[in-house]
Structures are given as structure tokens and as C-alpha cells.
Amino acid sequence: MIESGFMYLAVLAIMAASIVFLEQRIQAKIFKYLPGIVVLYFAVMLFSTFGVWQKTESINTVYITLKTNLLPAMIFLMLLGADMRQIFKLGKKMLVAFFLASLSIALGFIFTFALFHTYFEADAWKAFAALSGSWMGGTGNMVAIQGALDVPDSKMGYVLLIDSIDYAIWVMILLALVPIANHFNAWSKADTSVIDRVSEKLTQNKSSEKIDFASLFMLLSSSLLVCAFSQYGASFLPETSFLSTSGWVVLCATVFGILFAMTSLAKLAGSMELGNIMLYLIVALVASRANFSELTEAPLYIFAGFMVIAVHGVLMVIFAKLFKLDLFVIGVASLANIGGVASAPILASAYSRALIPIGVLMAMMGYVIGTFGGLTVGKILQMISA
């Protein structure tokens, strides 16, 4: 049984590193079905269920200190790749499709929660708010909203279950629809020449510099400084029943990330790598406080997730007809929200490798709006549950 805070941290870190290594270097078969971050969550949760560590003062101190300080630093680093100047190059049609996808996802959550909220616990709206952040951005937005709304760690197991199972099936459906693109486009009367022109103008926003010691050190120190400034600034902002000081910290770090993404700091290579290390550590910390015995409502949460996707899918088809959008645009816009950088480029490449930059940039836009969108949905869900 682990009682030392440092040993607790070391075990979580080696578990996270091992899973990343298995996923990227060994390419174990399990990762074809579940993302590494989901495997990490449930592996750590298993250790917690069997009582490998206890909530001693030393462990509690490490948990609170790391989670509180890593979160704003991670948000800042992950947003450095979201240069709004590049995103605006997507053009009006792609931007409209992306925001319509975000809107339909938000409406899906509101409709589903309004229909089924009486079947869930009183604070279930927080878990759905965190999931909406993930489905409008990514896992980073999900943990940002968890921090902003103080979502109980026990609820995050449900969020990741929905995020992995429902999302995986949605990806398969969208990939299966690729062969009927021409028929769909004829039905929606879409003009696909716009995509071809945008694709020619875009290039992936890759750094020209290699990851090196100086870049990593500068990015790490900058993220910690932003964390400190965000916490200091948030202490002067008013707390409400919905948004606590930790919520303001998240929003401050998000704004810093969006602004610095347009500076030379964003050109330093390694921000996503450092951000992902922090993300994996945060997920491991959250999982270390969860327990499998708490997942008693898993089937209901998973069904609710499918309901959200169904509403989103129907609305996107309607929007495609109204705005004459093609299947590629609405599919990638959907996955840029629900799947993020991991899946939007995959769907884009299924149409044409030349379209991959569109998938990447649309997914990066999700990082920008995911936290704001999830908090907005959360406020509406809170009002419904009241």
C-alpha cells in the first residue's frame, strides 16, 4: 500500500509513460479499439479500486498541488498550436460548418439532458458539461471543464466511457459514409469546388524548428508563468454559484493560450508534446480518486451519449440541405468537434490526402471554443436540473 506522495506520483507517471510507449512504439492491439488515455484512466482506476494507495496527507497534497497547477499550464501549451490567423484561412464555408456542428452538439446535450435528467443524480449536469467540452474540443477541454466546475472524479469514469464507446462508433459510421459522398452532395446541392481551392491554399501548421532543450525549457517555464499569472488574476475575479476561482483560472489560461498562439513562442517545437504529458498526468490523477464500484449508471450514460450523437447527426443533415454543405465538410466538422486532432484528419484523408490540413485546422479550432462551449452548455444543464 502506497502512503508516500512522491511514490504515488512516480507510480502514476510510469503507468502513463508505459501506456504511451505501448501505444506508439509497440502498437498493442488494444489501442485499435481504445485510445491510450482511456486505457490509462481505467488502468489507474483499477489500482485505486484495489486500494494500491490511500488518501494520506502526503498523497492528498501531491494530488491537489499537481492537479491545480498542471491544468492551466496544459491548457496554455495545447492552445499554442491554435493560431487563429491560420484557422481563418479555412474560409467561410468550413467555419460555418464547424460552428453548426458545435451548435448541434450543444442542442443534442440540452435535448437529451432535458429528457432524461430525472434519471441521473443531481450533479450529473457537471459530467455532461465536461463531456460537451470534449465533444466540442478534446480531452484537454474536458479536464479544463472538470477543473472549472469541480466535477467529482467519480463522474469522470462515465464521461470517458461515453467518450470512447460512443465516439468510436460515430467514427466508423462517418468513415462508412465516404463512398456515398457524391449522392449526398447531389442531394444537398453542394458546391465542392470551394474545398479544392481552400485545400490548395492551406499547409499544415508545423513548426520549422526541431524539438530541442532550449525550446522545451522555454515552453515549460512559460506555461508555469502563465499558470501563476492566471491564478493571481483569478483571485481578483468574482465567484458565482456556477464559476469558482478555479473556473476563472481555466478561462484566463485559455485566453493566454489563444493570444500567445499568434506570437513567436508558438513557433517553438514541443508545445503539444509537453501539453500531452501534462494531460496524461492529470487524467491519471483524476482516475486515482475513482472506483469501479461507482460506475453503477454506465448503461444509462452510454445511451444518453448515443442520443446526443443522434440529435447532432440529424441536425447536421438538415444543415447540409439548408446551407448546401457537402458530406466531407459536415463529416470533418463533426469529427473536429467530437474527435479532435486524433480523428478529423483521418476522415479528411479518407476523401483525399490533400484535405488533411483542413481536418487539422478545424480540430485545432475545437481546442479554442471547447472550454467556452462546454461551460455554456453546463450553465444551461444546471438550469434544467434546478
SS3 call for 296 = coil
The mean pLDDT of 179-202, rounded to a whole number, is 78
- Model pLDDT, residue 198: 66
Task: Check residues 211 and 341 and name the one with the higher pLDDT.
Answer: 211
Q: What angle do CA 88, 93, 98 make, to 5 degrees?
A: 75
Mean per-residue pLDDT of the chain: 87
Q: What angle do CA 274, 279, 284 make, to 5 degrees?
A: 130
Alpha carbons 146 and 71: distance in angstroms, whole number = 10
Give the pLDDT confidence of 148-174 residue by residue, as tens digits. 898 888 788 888 888 888 888 898 899
Whether pLDDT at 382 is above 60:
yes
Alpha carbons 312 and 319: distance in angstroms, whole number = 10
Owner of C-alpha cell 442531394: 187
Q: What are phi and psi of 193, to 5 degrees?
A: -65, -25
The mean pLDDT of 244-252, rounded to a whole number, is 87
Alpha carbons 281 and 194: distance in angstroms, whole number = 41
Is there a contact between 340 and 364 (Cβ–Cβ < 8 Å)? no
The three three-digit cell numbers of residue 266, written as one number? 508558438
| 355 pLDDT tier (thresholds 50, 70, 90) | confident
- Model pLDDT, residue 204: 47
| 84 pLDDT tier (thresholds 50, 70, 90) | confident
C-alpha dist (Å) from residue 80 to 91, 170, 342: 21, 28, 17
| 201 pLDDT tier (thresholds 50, 70, 90) | low
- Model pLDDT, residue 103: 96
| 196 pLDDT tier (thresholds 50, 70, 90) | low
Q: What angle do CA 270, 275, 276 make, to 5 degrees?
A: 100
Beta-carbon count within 10 A of 68 CB: 14
- Model pLDDT, residue 223: 95
Task: Spell out a b/e string for 290-305, using b for 16 or more CB atoms within 10 Å of the CB, else e.
Answer: bbeebbebeeebbebb
Alpha carbons 92 and 143: distance in angstroms, whole number = 30
Q: What is the pTM of this model?
A: 0.81
Task: Check residues 209 and 341 and name the one with the higher pLDDT.
Answer: 341
Of 78-82, 83-87, 96-100, 376-380, the poorest mean pLDDT is in 83-87
What residue spans define the domains of the chain? Answer: 5-385
- Model pLDDT, residue 62: 94
Is there a contact between 227 and 72 (Cβ–Cβ < 8 Å)? yes
